[in-house]
């Protein structure tokens, strides 16, 4: 029997507290000898190859991002979270965190199981799970969770398809995380846990910290939005926090985004004002609910403020332009989060003012007064080897993206 030992936590500071806890609760086993013992013990446990979504959940649990969760939710908690963003015990969380599998053959009587990573060659064990319950998820329950979290059950929605293509058997219970999947190896300079980011913020002496979420390269409007937020909020620092996990087809790979963003920060941000980091999670494209999740784990990593702009975490036409902002007023329980939201409008270059502005702060403008390019047009230009205008993208960033598109 593998025993569940306590894990290392961050030291307390006067920074913003994690959600629902006085301290961060990472589930990664930091003690090298204990982790080696568990890896060896896992070889003798019944095992299952989990979904990419469940592996991403393990990475986030391991890094402390999902504090104070201790593992995968049971069906009652998942339905409660889908309906009201509350578990059965009343704990706040914005989306279900599930380990859904196709089969539990050989696992039925197991007290503990080894969870194998689908995203790493050889499927090494990413975590050990204590089995508290094995439950069948009905199609009705899946439909309810899908509708509540994604606001649609349309299988053309990439997040809906990914969620519903998992199994229908939920294994719940606490976990011990043994590694961070492929993220440490592939993104050694960028992947950081919530523990590491909190410690970095503390060491830099930052108190007011704004976080910026991205799954795309940052063009001039994104860069200037970050500068605006830092100035208006009187922040000490900015954490650019990019998603490193799976995206929908056509999105720019994480290594290219990383290069482009680091180049932008190096050239256009003062020293010690911004850090570039990333987290190991698969994009949900869940719009408003994912915006709340993003705010949740940014508070856990130590940010006091979080930028949410137009169509945050959206895809297609499934969400209203500012649904990801209004959800904090309409649905998030009062007092559930301490992090403050910086609500941004679409930002673009104004030909009248010769600078980037939020469009709702630019009176006497028509659409023609702004430099606006669709994503499709930008991709066409980059593929042709043409840099977008300087009012849209920094030339150093455009060069990196042109090289990527022309290599396809």
215 an active-site residue? yes
Give phi and psi for 401, each to the nearest 5. -70, -35
**Catalytic residue from among 37, 204, 216, 379:** 216
CA gap 341, 310 in Å, rounded: 13
Q: Is the peptide bond before 4 cis (omega within 30 degrees of 0)?
A: no
**Per the structure block, which two tokens stand in for 101?**
């599998």
Per DSSP, 26 falls in state: -
CA gap 309, 88 in Å, rounded: 32
**Catalytic residue from among 35, 37, 215, 343:** 215
CA 143 to chain centre: 23
Nearest to 282 by CA among 165, 204, 178: 165
The greatest distance separating any two alpha carbons of the chain, rounded to the nearest whole angstrom, comes to 70
Residue that the structure tokens 């439950």 belong to: 135
Angstrom distances, CA of residue 63 to CA of 249, 307, 358, 388: 27, 22, 35, 38
Residue that the structure tokens 């332009």 belong to: 321
Torsion of CA 361, 372, 290, 318, to 10 degrees: 110
Which residues are marked as active site?
A: 215-216
């Amino acid at each position: 029997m593998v025993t569940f030992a306590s894990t290392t936590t961050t030291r307390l500071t006067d920074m913003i507290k994690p959600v629902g806890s006085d301290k961060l609760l990472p589930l990664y086993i930091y003690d090298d000898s204990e982790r080696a013992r568990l890896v060896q013990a896992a070889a003798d446990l019944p095992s299952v190859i989990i979904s990419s979504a469940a592996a991403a959940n393990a990475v986030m649990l391991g890094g402390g991002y999902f504090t104070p969760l201790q593992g995968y939710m049971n069906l009652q908690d998942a339905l409660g979270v889908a309906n009201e963003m509350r578990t059965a015990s009343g704990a706040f969380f914005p989306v279900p965190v599930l380990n859904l599998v196709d089969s539990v053959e050989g696992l039925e009587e197991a007290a503990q199981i080894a969870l194998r990573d689908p995203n790493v060659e050889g499927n090494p064990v990413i975590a050990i799970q204590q089995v508290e319950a094995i439950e069948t998820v009905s199609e009705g329950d899946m439909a309810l969770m899908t509708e509540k979290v994604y606001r649609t059950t349309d299988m053309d929605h990439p997040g809906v398809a990914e969620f519903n293509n998992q199994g229908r058997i939920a294994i719940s219970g606490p976990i011990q995380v043994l590694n961070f999947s492929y993220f440490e190896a592939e993104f050694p300079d960028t992947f950081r846990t919530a523990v590491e980011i909190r410690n970095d913020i503390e060491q830099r002496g930052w108190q007011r910290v704004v976080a910026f979420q991205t799954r795309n390269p940052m063009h001039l409007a994104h860069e200037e939005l970050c500068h605006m937020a830092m100035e208006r909020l009187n922040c000490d620092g900015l954490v650019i926090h990019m998603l490193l996990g799976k995206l929908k087809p056509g999105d720019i790979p994480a290594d290219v985004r990383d290069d482009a963003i680091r180049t932008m920060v190096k050239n256009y941000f003062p020293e010690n004002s911004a850090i570039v980091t990333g987290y190991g999670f698969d994009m949900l494209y869940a719009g408003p609910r994912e915006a709340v999740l993003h705010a949740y784990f940014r508070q856990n990593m130590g940010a006091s403020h979080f930028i949410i702009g137009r169509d945050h975490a959206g895809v297609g036409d499934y969400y209203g332009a500012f649904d990801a902002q209004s959800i904090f007023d309409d649905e998030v329980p009062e007092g559930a989060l301490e992090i403050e939201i910086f609500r941004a409008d679409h930002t673009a270059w104004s030909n009248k003012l010769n600078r980037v502005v939020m469009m709702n702060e630019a009176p006497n403008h028509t659409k023609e007064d702004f430099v606006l390019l669709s994503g499709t047009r930008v991709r066409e230009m980059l593929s042709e080897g043409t840099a977008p205008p300087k009012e849209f993208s920094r030339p150093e960033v455009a060069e990196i993206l042109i090289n990527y598109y022309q290599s396809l």
